[in-house]
Amino acid sequence: MSFSCGCCRTLGQVLFEYDTPRIVSIKSRKVGLINRLVQLGVLAYVIGWVLVWQKGYQQFDSVISSVTTKVKGVAVTNTTDQGVKIWDVADYIIPSQEESSFFVMTNLIMTLNQQQGHCPEMPEDSPHCISDSNCTAGAQSHRSNGIQTGKCVPVHNSTAVHTCEVLAWCPLENDVDLSHHPALLKDAEQFTVLIKNNIRYPKFNFTKRNILPHINSSYLKQCVFNRVTDPDCPIFRLGDIVREAGEDFQEIAVEYTFRRLDNKDVQNTVATGYNFRFAKYYKGLGEVESRTLIKAYGIRFDVMVFGKAGKFDIIPTMINIGSGLALLGVATVLCDVIILHIMKKKNFYREKKYKYVEDYDLEEESLSSKGTPTDRRLLVQLSV
């Protein structure tokens, strides 16, 4: 019974009590200094960081960008198997159009006049064999260039080395390491690229392009970008772009905005750079399908556009100011914790901070049942 009465009393206190703040002025230099320091820190955060540095008085919008590129240039090569050859944009830009990027071929391995037939596997891609029993018809691996026929045959120009015969495009590609050879298309350093960029901020209905209003066709035909003398020109020399990235064009042209994306300083140098294979097909003698296989090394240029626009707006301004004013309450909470729980006179401050008041109606009824203070004083006076 007493337990239920206690629960009812506690529930009544929770439901029928009201707390109101009480202002207590405490003459303490220590507490006052802490209060001002916290308030100063909150104001510095709101004004310095939120409003000034983060521009909390603005609304922001992200950029929408469309980039197109056009490369121009001609290179010449003179090799033993091909002789003198001219390379233009259709030869070294692969593919001809790509969104926000372009690939410039600077070095290559060409395997001419390939036809489907039987030929020995390359020694680098297959273990050596001694007899046909070492070869399995129909077998292949991820490194093989074709399907094994089950025969063990000598490698070209060698009778000492034998490998398994494969059904493939023959002759097979002789994939050699070009890292210490000069780039065949080293003249690509002088190629130029026109970069056209259109940006839009839909929230602010703002559009702009990198070809400025004062630029005309005659200017575009002769200008090349230079930070000092021609900063508005949208035509860039590839060698200058690579140098802006802190690299040497002739060095990376062998193996492989304004910033190099792959890391050349890593200790593991396996499979560095950028290369791929493609083929050009044609009909040879007797209408036999033939192809020229090209393993292309080069530089891939990715044009990445970043941007953020801001404009004054009263809504984020008021939200950030209101949040800052609310944070000022942290100073009061911190000071209350110090004076009520840490300082030596915490009990004294607690008595000054809190005051318990009974319900006025209940207190009036209690007094009326016992007589008012005036009645009690009268009784005392009569008794005297």
Supply the DSSP string of 225-249, one letter for each residue.
Answer: -BTTTBTT--EEEHHHHHHHTT--H
* Residue of 258, 320, 297 lying closest to 42 (CA atoms): 320
287-292: average pLDDT: 88
Interval 184-200 mean pLDDT: 90
Q: How confident is the model at residue 370 (pLDDT cuts 50, 70, 90)?
A: low
Ordered by where they begin, the domains of the chain are 17-56+313-383 (1.10.287.940), 64-121+172-302 (2.60.490.10)
Give the tens place of pLDDT for each residue, 264-279. 555 555 556 678 888 9
More confident residue, 6 or 353: 353
Which amino acid does the sequence have at 287? Answer: E
**pLDDT (mean) for 235-240:** 92
Q: Is 70 exceeded by the pLDDT of residue 349?
A: yes
Q: What is the mean pLDDT of residues 279-297?
A: 86
pLDDT in the model for residue 149: 94
Comparing 33 with 254, which gets the higher pLDDT? 33
The per-residue pLDDT for range 23-63, each reduced to its tens digit, is 778 888 888 888 888 889 989 999 999 999 999 999 999 99
Q: What is the pLDDT of residue 260?
A: 54
Mean predicted lDDT score pLDDT of the chain:
81
Q: Is 286 left (phi over 0), alpha (psi -120 to 50) or beta?
A: left
The pLDDT value recorded for residue 361 is 61
For residue 167, the model assigns a pLDDT of 95
For the cut 60, the answer to whether the pLDDT of residue 179 exceeds it is: no
Q: Would you state the pLDDT for residue 377?
A: 40
Long-range interactions of 202-210: CB distance < 8 A, separation 24+: 202/61, 202/64, 203/59, 203/61, 203/309, 204/61, 204/309, 204/311, 206/309, 210/234
* Residue 117 predicted with pLDDT over 90: yes
Counting residues of the chain whose pLDDT is more than 90, the rounded percentage is 24
Distance between CA atoms of 118 and 153, rounded to whole angstroms? 10
User: According to DSSP H, which parts of 16-141 are helical?
Assistant: 29-44, 89-92
pLDDT band at 232; cut points 50, 70, 90: very high
Q: What is the mean pLDDT of residues 278-285?
A: 85
Neighbours of 93 (CB within 10 A): 22
Three-class SS of residue 169? strand
End-to-end Cα, the chain, rounded Å: 47
Helical pair 329-341 and 346-353, crossing angle rounded to 10 deg: 130
Residue 18 has pLDDT above 80, yes or no: no
CB 145 within 8 A of CB 168: yes
Cβ-proximal residues to 4 (8 Å cutoff; 6+ apart), any chain: none
Which segment of 147-151, 177-181, 190-194, 252-256 scores lowest on mean pLDDT? 177-181
- Name the pLDDT band for 255 (thresholds 50, 70, 90): low
Q: Quick one: pLDDT at residue 306?
A: 87
pLDDT in the model for residue 376 = 42
Average pLDDT over residues 79-107: 84
Whether the predicted pLDDT of 166 surpasses 90: yes
Over residues 333-337, the mean pLDDT reads 86
